[in-house]
A and B are shown apart, each in its own frame.
Chain A
């Protein structure tokens, strides 16, 4: 960034980002019955982190929000130039979307293991839960979470890599 963002932008982002992420999570969870879903939630999360990235820069994101990523995610034999891609923030994003893809495939395979067709979904109704009363646990939520992780991880990867240019 050529110019430092103003204090207004910094303050607004600081307050808005948690709200966006909370909204994203609630959209994912309610998606089965109300408008929302994994895709929308994923894009919203990506937007939230992109805002942080624009106002505070990528160093802030890697050092403050993902403090352990530089040591943990680095592969043993990575050289200096590789570290930007497979570790740090981008590394975390990679892991996210790969995990999401695995989650969706896994959700399908579990159905096969139980003797149903690939990606068959079901729902379990649990009654007498405190506060909620009757609660529906849909297996589709697992799949939707996978979608969420893929979308947010992939978008953030693209944003971070292109943004570094």
Chain B
């Protein structure tokens, strides 16, 4: 059964519509705007759930021309449903929580508006499968994330963090765009017609799952054009930037400058999942059926994922701030998911989709717990916190459940997805042998660190209470209830993992594997398997290593203090270098001297135009002896003499007068060329220029000083280049003779026909063709032109007339 088009579009449109009215709602509701936003999220959630099981495609034509066929293609299947469910479901809880957390903060209108826009964009990423719309929503999430990270826009650390995330995620998106365009190009070779649609239609890149498969043809075309590896790398860079993979993970810890609900929503449950989602979505395109390793794909994503998982888990152990710890841990778990999708083995896909759900459940919980701690204890520094269970017993219970799940300890849900990863690495290693045995070893090694920081987080609630810790308040219900609900979700999935799988995870898995998918089951392993052994090693080693936590923590911090070992060092050097480069711009380009601006603009225009002609390889038609009537020749000669006289004029008055000789000669030329309208216009404009000169003449200085010879030579060269460009352009433009359909139409239609009724509709009805073109055939153009004139007047008004207004106010 197909999903309902209206419902899906409503899910997409509602958050944006809500964002538009939020400023007005805020005036009425004030602090309770949070519940308005939560209501919108709840409606989206309900609409989405109503479409559960209606997997299929909805196509809405958007831009449809011969050369460009872009339609909004919505596609609902298990994977998109899962991501959309997280976006709207976690959204409801986050909005409720925000109502309490943001109490008394500034900028709430901006906060709720942006958060709603973000939720809409995230739903967009989940639901659309045409690559153009996908890219638009992709960048929209980056931009809303930028605004939310920079919520406290006056603090320098916020500004730094917001800029960093913007630079990394948006530029990652640009890599993605290039990849999409290449795929679009290749699809033309493989399928006949070029398409932007990824999946869900007959003509899409992947095809309709279960019916048609275009993936093999696309892969073949990619190989034959040599674009396979570039596309893969481009997609990987885009996904890695969004999902904070090494070495682009550096923006995520800084993004913790955002208010905690934002961190929980964007930077753990949803936005960072976008990159992971992208990889899952493209998996059927690049991974053939029934293989253990997919060419290029496995190597790239397994290395990327496992490296990120291990490195960021170590960095999490080295963290001193609870939100920093959670941020690194988020990057680490995203690495786990990506490694899972990288493995072509079926257990790999199972790891990925199941961990998307599990990670969202326990990590969003932990962020909300961190928010409660920061809000009630007033500090986020790990060493300043301890023994919190006395004051926050409920929060402590929630945190313990979520932390144990994050650590991968049975029987919690994190354990099941980690088991799947261990299983997938083991099977892959068994098949490949040799160097591939590194995979399970690294997976265990990284998991040990995951275990360490998870336990450290839970220990915030136990042990001795540090002396510096002040009074701790009870959290308000609006903060506790969403956290508790998420914790219940963790417990629910832990007790009945199979229910979650049957409901949604299995369908999501089907979206990430090519061909048929078998129904997969998880249960507590009944007998000892390699994967169980790996889990046991992880927990055992972790338990021993936890005794030395402080030493490991110190060691990692020492390693981090070596500048060239950290990715931040390179980021900061690049940004600083670019900043220094941009200081050169005012020195050489923005000189505040009109001469420089004119030279730069004129020369670059000339260069572009001439280069264009050179690339197009046009031949300049040269007519040595033009056949001109004698009067025209005389007029043009006088004009040339006038132009020469302007340059040698001794005073301003003489200069202005000789300049008008040139202008009036051009007008006479128009008369001779039988263009009375042009001549009239030229005459009036010439007069106007003269009048303006009269206005300013006695304000101009008498004498400008001697011009240096070198400067005169440079100016002459610039003038010469511009002259040549214009001459060549005129020669080329007049030499080509386009078919005169348009001219014929104008001539035929402009006048009054022989026989006509009282009202004339289809004809111009005017004797002056030029005027009829201006006011009738091309009236829209004219309207644009007079708008420009009006805008120029407005610009003069505001720039000159009101320039002193700002300082006095």
Q: Name the contact of B695 in the complex, choosing from A38, A146, A147, A159 (C-beta under 8 A).
A: A159
Binds A, one of B291-299, B320-328, B384-392, B771-779: B771-779
Q: Name the contact of A47 in the complex, choosing from B677, B684, B774 (C-beta under 8 A).
A: B684
Which A residue sits closest to B799, measured CB to CB? A161
Interface residues of A in 88-144 (CB under 8 A from B): 90, 93-94, 97-98, 100-101, 104-105, 108, 116, 118-126, 136, 138, 140, 143-144
Determine how close the nearest CB of chain A comes to the CB of B663; give it in whole angstroms. 14
Q: Name the contact of B786 in the complex, choosing from A81, A108, A147 (C-beta under 8 A).
A: A147
Q: Is the CB of A33 within 8 A of B790?
A: no
Interface residues of B in 461-514 (CB under 8 A from A): none
Question: How far, in whole Å, are A161 and B764 apart by their CA atoms in the complex?
Answer: 39
Describe B's contact surface by its main secondary structure.
helix
- B793 in the interface, Cβ–Cβ < 8 Å? yes
Q: Is the CB of A50 within 8 A of B684?
A: no
Determine how close the nearest CB of chain B comes to the CB of A37; give it in whole angstroms. 5
Q: Is the CB of A165 within 8 A of B800?
A: yes
Q: Is the CB of B766 within 8 A of A40?
A: no
Binds A, one of B18-26, B404-412, B540-548, B686-694: B686-694
Do A119 and B787 contact each other (CB < 8 Å), given the known contacts A33-B766, A144-B775, A158-B792? no
Q: Is the CB of A161 within 8 A of B783?
A: no
- B104 in the interface, Cβ–Cβ < 8 Å? no
Q: Is the CB of B688 within 8 A of A146?
A: no
- A51 in the interface, Cβ–Cβ < 8 Å? yes
Q: Is the CB of A39 within 8 A of B681?
A: yes
Determine how close the nearest CB of chain B comes to the CB of A46; give it in whole angstroms. 7
Q: Is the CB of B775 within 8 A of A140?
A: yes
Which A residues touch B691, using CB under 8 A? 47, 50-51, 54
Q: How many A-B residue pairs have CB under 8 A?
A: 168
Which A residues touch B779, using CB under 8 A? 108, 119, 121, 140, 143
Q: Is the CB of B790 within 8 A of A101?
A: yes
Chain B: how many interface residues by the 8 Å CB criterion?
Answer: 49
Q: Is the CB of A46 within 8 A of B758?
A: no
Q: Is the CB of B780 within 8 A of A118?
A: yes
Which A residues touch B801, using CB under 8 A? 84-85, 90, 161, 164
Interface residues of B in 754-783 (CB under 8 A from A): 756, 758-761, 763-768, 770-772, 774-776, 779-780, 782-783
Q: Is the CB of B680 within 8 A of A40?
A: yes
Which A residues touch B761, using CB under 8 A? 116, 120, 122
Q: Is the CB of B688 within 8 A of A43?
A: yes
Q: Is the CB of B800 within 8 A of A161?
A: yes
Question: How far, in whole Å, are A39 and B677 apart by their CA atoms in the complex?
Answer: 10
- A34 in the interface, Cβ–Cβ < 8 Å? yes
- B29 in the interface, Cβ–Cβ < 8 Å? no
Q: Name the contact of B776 in the complex, choosing from A121, A146, A151, A153 (C-beta under 8 A).
A: A121
Q: Is the CB of A34 within 8 A of B768?
A: yes
Q: B-facing mask of A18-46, CB < 8 A → 1, else 0? A: 00000000010001111111111001101
Q: Name the contact of A104 in the complex, choosing from B687, B783, B808 (C-beta under 8 A).
A: B783
Question: How far, in whole Å, are A85 and B798 apart by their CA atoms in the complex?
Answer: 9
Which A residues touch B230, using CB under 8 A? none
Q: Is the CB of B692 within 8 A of A159?
A: yes
Question: How far, in whole Å, are A40 and B764 apart by their CA atoms in the complex?
Answer: 20
Which A residues touch B797, using CB under 8 A? 85, 90, 94, 157, 161
Residue of B694, B760, B775, B786 most packed against chain A (CB within 10 A) = B775
Q: Is the CB of A122 within 8 A of B790?
A: no
- B685 in the interface, Cβ–Cβ < 8 Å? yes
Which A residues touch B774, using CB under 8 A? 37, 39, 147
Which B residues touch A93, using CB under 8 A? 793
Which B residues touch A37, using CB under 8 A? 677, 768, 770-771, 774-775
Interface residues of B in 217-245 (CB under 8 A from A): none
Which B residues touch A44, using CB under 8 A? 684
Q: Name the contact of B767 in the complex, choosing from A32, A105, A154, A157 (C-beta under 8 A).
A: A32
Question: How far, in whole Å, are A122 and B796 apart by their CA atoms in the complex?
Answer: 36
Q: Is the CB of A154 within 8 A of B758?
A: no
Q: Is the CB of A162 within 8 A of B759?
A: no
Determine how close the nearest CB of chain B comes to the CB of A54; give it in whole angstroms. 6
- B614 in the interface, Cβ–Cβ < 8 Å? no
Q: Is the CB of A147 within 8 A of B782?
A: yes
- A2 in the interface, Cβ–Cβ < 8 Å? yes
Question: How far, in whole Å, are A98 and B774 apart by their CA atoms in the complex?
Answer: 20
Q: A-facing mask of B410-430, CB < 8 A → 1, else 0? A: 000000000000000000000
Determine how close the nearest CB of chain A comes to the CB of B785; give it in whole angstroms. 9
Question: How far, in whole Å, are A67 and B307 apart by their CA atoms in the complex?
Answer: 81
Which B residue sits closest to A141, measured CB to CB? B775
Q: A-facing mask of B649-680, CB < 8 A → 1, else 0? A: 00000000000000000000000000011001
Do A161 and B796 contact each other (CB < 8 Å), given the known contacts A81-B804, A81-B808, A154-B790? yes
Q: Is the CB of B758 within 8 A of A140?
A: no
Which A residues touch B775, using CB under 8 A? 32, 37-38, 121, 140, 143-144, 147
Q: Is the CB of B759 within 8 A of A123?
A: yes
Q: Is the CB of A151 within 8 A of B789?
A: yes
Which B residue sits closest to A101, measured CB to CB? B790
Q: Name the contact of B783 in the complex, choosing from A39, A40, A105 (C-beta under 8 A).
A: A105
- B802 in the interface, Cβ–Cβ < 8 Å? yes
Which B residues touch A50, using CB under 8 A? 688, 691-692, 695
Q: List 17 A-B contacts (CB under 8 A).
A: A31-B768, A36-B677, A40-B681, A51-B691, A85-B797, A97-B789, A108-B779, A121-B764, A123-B752, A140-B772, A144-B771, A147-B775, A150-B790, A154-B790, A157-B793, A157-B796, A162-B796
> Which A residues fall within an 8 A CB radius of B?
1-3, 27, 31-40, 43-44, 46-47, 50-51, 53-54, 81, 84-85, 90, 93-94, 97-98, 100-101, 104-105, 108, 116, 118-126, 136, 138, 140, 143-144, 146-147, 150-151, 153-155, 157-159, 161-165
A-B contacts besides A37-B768, A138-B765, A155-B789, 4 pairs, CB < 8 Å: A39-B681, A81-B805, A144-B771, A162-B695
